[in-house]
Amino acid sequence: MSAHEIIDIPIRDDMIRLGQLLKLASLVEDGVEATELIKNGLVKVNGEIDDRRGRQLHHGDTVTVNGESVRITAGG
C-alpha cells in the first residue's frame, strides 16, 4: 500500500466514534493505543488533528494515522 492510498472502511450505522474506527480499521491494537495516539495529536480527521476519542465520524470522513489513511463508507 502506498502512503497516499486511502482504504475504504464500511460501517453499519450512520456514524462511528474515532476510537472505534481506529480499531475496526486495524490502525491500532486496542483502545489504549488509540487513546495514546489521539491524545498525542497523531490522528488527523479530514486533514485536521483531532484529540477527541469520541469524535463522531460519518460517511466520507477520512482518518490518517502514521501515514495510513482510511475513509468511512456506508456499509449498507
Reference 65, options 31, 38, 35, 29; nearest CA is: 38
pTM metric for this prediction: 0.89
Please report the domains of the chain, with CATH numbers, ordered by start residue. 6-74 (3.10.290.10)
Spatial separation of the C-alpha atoms in residues 18 and 73, rounded to whole Å:
14
Question: How many CB atoms are closer than 10 A to CB 54?
Answer: 9
What residues in the chain have per-residue pLDDT under 50? 1
